[in-house]
Structure 1
């Protein structure tokens, strides 16, 4: 196989049918072009800045490649054919670690690969054991801190892992209630977090040999989320909604147990994270989302860098996604609603900017649809943010697809979305919305969703469909609803509660029995059950159990008259496929039109390219048949 040349400058490789699409009906773009693996993804520069790693398809699976910056030759490092590699990182200038599981079971383990020899070493691969990364220890080339639930499947103990020998050293005992650990810049674990989703306690220790002692107790509505130690290792940067509705970025003093300084806050939106210079030991920016992703730059040196990049990069939206240890060589990614991603290499010492790769050079941006942020009112007057994507050159009386996101503790955001573009290209108006309970909107917005599955949360989604009709955008007889995970649940509840709105539903890995779903949580979710009981419902309480049953699709079969399509992976550790089997059998026994797609090599949602393409091809045919939406 000829290796991918990452430094190849892409010219005229887009999927071009017509150079002029104004006032024309755009051609239908094949599903393969929306859902095939990207040409390049997750590009990361080595600590010394001399090599660039990236993911690229080999035999329809994302595999790991590395390019020499000076010679510009590329070597393939991994040869996986079962599942994509999605998460990887440089551990030192010569070795990388990538994360794998078994066909989507989410019991992750690590593989170390040497960029020169291609030698691989599997680490921590044990049946039923899940490994997570706590700290990659940027300045330690041989060790990292990992969390592992080997001793108890519900909790994770922190270990120092030597990647050369595979030996692990226990760094602290988890007494059974710690859900998070934070190391300082010297690699010493100083903070432990006990969190059940409702109540939280921070524990601190002065030295590695001393015991953790509680220093702060709080709850979700007066919360403190540690992010990173400050450069002096005495304080922490944290997200805090103490005394406010939304989460601000603050400096928190561990000695006085008080917020020392508020660095950034927004009256409507939570902050997401910080950007940090590890070479200068200083915070450089605040990341938050309103309708779009934003970075509030905090220091002059970073502002000067961004000003230079703005003068060099033609695209408006760009972010630094990887840097060498000295932070002089970096990878820049641009994106937009019609741009799946373009990657650049920038050398701050020389001012050299090199185009590395487009994510999907086969997609012509002129044929894609813009995503417009919108706002509408829920039934009770609550303001709901959303995103509307219309088919190119068409604006009114359209068939429509409503796509509620999964989670539900997640949110939709502005940017390129293959699913949205696929359906817009087929003539649909596509509406996404951040219904109550979506993350990023503060405590009151979250609390408005408590014990409202299938109720006011569902009404928020319905209000979006009604808004499309009121605005003349959607034809009221051609609306469908589709989602995955919680979104799949909401799609099913849509045709149960509001059959007058939706002609059909498509559910991927959707929850069909809430009581059963809560009872079958993976063991490592059990520490968060208290929050689930408070926000969704507690099956052990009679009133809650009745409420959850009443709002579960499995108990509403008699109300389903519209066609339904479902899809599920047999390895799903979050939503049991057996529950979907039971639901499908009940639908068929009731005479409901149902299609069911099962994949043996998938987990929660489909990842493998051939399965994703098959799903969307079948979903498109199904939706066209029930909405009568031929272009």
Structure 2
């Protein structure tokens, strides 16, 4: 036994040394690279010329978004005749999203920046016979399923009757007429149709417990299958060819999300189809055609794919071989699942969109995401780990600038939004923009980030300004201890929850940062909680657990809200605010900035009145990052 114990100690020491060696090699390799030319802000943040590619169900047409008179509009191209069509011609707002509703029709909606914007349109693939779907103001619409690919009807979930609940409607794509199919009894938060367009499953919630309901084909009565606390995940993926069975993503009775088969009559897992003991399964691809699974995806730290489908596994191997092993994401597929839209990328390359034919293995490039980015000039994103103050291992990504050495660098801390999202190994325009300016960029998957299991996720609950911020602070101190960061030249930048984190960091760590940037950062959690739309009512008790209760957790929510801490902020700030932001109140931010300036804090305050929570207009986006560029240069390059 002693020999085994000694061996384990030796191996742990070896792995620790090996980890340090990898970091050392990474640092040395970065320090030997030449300093790249400065790339313009416009190059990093301009809208892609073509994006959001999809394929029609019958595989005859490719659709995509493309700028037209300064706004993103919808286009379609025939794969047979090569004819192309502009479906929309909006000049005031961009098309925010769209999808194929049948072989001939597309549904799309405009973006006005607000939380609820469903100016919904139906159009034939050549742009003819466009109709606007009649909806009440502030109505939200969710696509559920096709009834049949070759029909004129589609299933939608709409909260038009009652803002708090979603009913199921059948929409006639030619006339815009809606017919109520399923009336919400008041507790259903999700509806799920089978492959024939019949609603067969539903998920209900009382705010704490979620219940999966199922009904047999042709039946009107739903029966409960399984109930569990909302902290657990039981997410249906699709119907199995085995009667009364479904595929689901579940972490019930386990820490990591796994792919399972579930018997809807008994509520029991009949089989674990795939699980990874170290990571959550983040994505599962389902085949409607064969009612089977294609693959499951997890990240460790890069995307790894477990294939259920042999043909698709061979196809991905063929694509990787043709594209020099770039990372691959399946974006869309047609009804027969023979034609695929894929996107490639690396940490240095935003990548391209391709059309792939499984039958003849023909690979055709559709568009580059950003052809002006030269991967050779971009910087490597390296996976790193450090121990936080509680002894917990925290992961993240470190990107070092080229030609600047590897010691005492100016650094931009870049916390992710969510907070239950994550940083991934991929191309990021923000990361590469900062690295191109000579700054190291540190992205931290703090407690509360997804992908690391239920236990890690739960540690972020009601800890937005404590555990999560402690992990960010500990990461910064680790950089300083490793002599990677110049302690006098550290900035922090974030969007949404990341912006909230940037503001929290300068409240409670005023001497750690020389400047900070908040892009749509939450400033008042009371206002944030109050601002949730009516259909979040079933989630109210869940929000109390995740964020805090406005009546019972007053002291904590005040502590967490930067708007109440203006007297503690001394750090120069750049703040961006959208005039139509439903999550961050414009008047409140105006007052917040006024108080900061009264306290002699330097604030570069940018308001774009037509924008919502995120920047969608290309000019506004370029202006904001130009301001960030100047602001960070002023503080991070002043003592080289």
Q: TM-score, normalization: structure 2?
A: 0.91
| Residue 49 (structure 2) pairs with residue 31 (structure 1) | no
What is the distance in 2 between the residues matched to 1:505 and 1:119? 50
Q: What is the DSSP-based 3-state SS (H/G/I as helix, E as strand, rest coil) of the residue aligned with 2:336?
A: coil
Give the structure 2 partner of residue 595 of structure 1: 604
Distance 1:231-1:575 versus aligned 2 partners, 3 A rule: farther
Instruction: Classify the secondary structure of the residue corresponding to 1:381.
Output: coil
Offset, 1:253: 0.5
Query: How far apart are residue 232 of structure 1 and its match?
Result: 4.3
Counterpart position of 2:8: none
SS in 1 for 2:282: strand
Whether the 8 Å CA contact 1:315–1:335 is kept in 2: the answer is no
* Cα distance change, pair 56–528 in 1 and its aligned pair in 2 (3 A): same
Residue 233 of structure 1: how far off its partner (Å): 5.6
Offset from partner CA, 1:409-460 (integer Å, 9 cap, x none):
2112111111111111111111111111112221211221222121121010
2:81 to 44, 47, 71: 71
Measure, in 2, the Cα distance between the counterparts of 1:528 and 1:391: 43
- State TM-score, norm by structure 1: 0.92
CA distance in 2 between counterparts of 1:243 and 1:339 reads 40
- Of 299, 302, 322, 1:292 maps to 302
How far residue 540 of structure 1 moved from its aligned partner, in angstroms, is: 1.4
Once the two structures are overlaid, the 10-residue window that deviates more, 40-49 or 221-230, is 221-230
1:209 CA drift (Å): 5.4
Q: What's 1:407 paired with?
A: 418
Correspondence for 2:407 among 389, 396, 399: 396
In structure 2, stretches of 5+ residues that fail to align are 1-30
SS in 2 for 1:244: coil
> Take 2:148 and 2:450, find their aligned partners in 1: how far apart are those partners?
30
TM alignment of 1:119-158, pairs within 5 A: 119-137=129-147, 139-158=149-168
Between 575-584 and 490-499, report the one with greater CA deviation: 575-584
Q: Which residue of 2 aligns with 1:216?
A: 226
Q: Report if aligned partners of 2:349, 2:374 keep a CA contact under 8 Å in 1.
A: no
Does residue 1:576 correspond to 2:585, yes or no? yes
Q: Give the conservation status (yes or no) of the 8 Å contact 2:116–2:138.
A: no
SS at match of 1:180: strand
Contact 1:427–1:629 (CA under 8 A) maintained in structure 2: no
Q: What's the counterpart of residue 40 of structure 1? A: 50
Please give the secondary structure, in 1, of the residue aligned with 2:394. strand
Q: How much does 1:303 deviate? A: 2.2
State the partner residue of 1:55.
65
Change (3 A) 1:330 1:379: same
The within-5 A match list for 1:394-543 is 394=404, 395-541=406-552
**Shift in Å at residue 287 of structure 1?**
2.0
Output the CA distance in 1 between the equivalents of 2:353 and 2:111.
28
Q: Is the 8 A contact 1:495 1:503 kept in 2?
A: no
Q: 2:615 aligns with which of 606, 616, 619?
A: 606
* Cα displacement (A) at 1:393: 2.8
Runs (4+) of structure 1 exceeding 4 A deviation are none
Q: Which ranges in structure 1 are unaligned for 5 or more consecutive residues?
A: 1-20
Which digits, 9 at most, give the CA deviation of each residue in 1:150-208, with x for residues without a partner? 12212211111121121222222212221111111121111111236642112223355
Q: Distance in 2 between matches of 1:625 and 1:218?
A: 52
The 2-side partners of 1:416 and 1:82 are apart by 30
Contact in 1 for aligned 2:146/2:154 (Cα 8 Å)? yes
Alignment of 1:158-557 (within 5 A): 158-195=168-205, 198-207=208-217, 210-232=220-242, 234-394=244-404, 395-541=406-552, 544-557=553-566
Change (3 A) 1:362 1:539: same
Name whichever of 470-479 and 103-112 sits farther off: 103-112
Q: Equivalents in 1 of 2:569, 2:317: separation in Å?
A: 56
Cα separation, partners in 2 of 1:419 and 1:197, compared to 1, 3 Å: farther
Larger mean CA deviation between 531-540 and 81-90 belongs to: 81-90
Q: 1:179 to 1:585 in 2, by over 3 A?
A: same
Q: Is the 8 A contact 1:107 1:131 kept in 2?
A: no
**Larger helix proportion, structure 1 or 2?**
2
Does the Cα contact within 8 Å between 1:399 and 1:629 map onto a contact in 2? no
Question: Is residue 496–residue 519 contact of structure 2 (8 Å, CA) maintained in 1?
Answer: yes
| More moved, 193-202 vs 413-422 | 193-202
Q: 1:559 corresponds to which residue?
A: 568
Q: Does the 8 A contact of 1:570 with 1:600 survive in 2? A: yes
In 2, Cα distance between the equivalents of 1:550 and 1:434?
A: 23
Cα distance in 2 between the residues matched to 1:290 and 1:402: 22
Farther-moved stretch of structure 1 (420-429 vs 133-142): 133-142
CA deviations on 1:195-224 (whole Å, 9 max, x unpaired) are: 366421122233555232323211134432
Deviation at 1:117, TM superposition (A): 4.5
In 1: Cα distance, 2:422 partner to 2:93 partner: 26
User: In 1, are the aligned partners of 2:531 and 2:582 still within 8 Å (CA)?
Assistant: no
The alignment of Structure 1 onto Structure 2 pairs a total of residues equal to 609
Q: CA deviation at 1:475?
A: 0.6
CA distance in 2, matches of 1:207, 1:317: 40
CA contact (8 A) 1:47 1:324 kept: yes
Structure 1 equivalent of residue 123 of structure 2? 113
How many angstroms does 1:629 deviate by?
5.4
Change (3 A) 1:310 1:509: closer
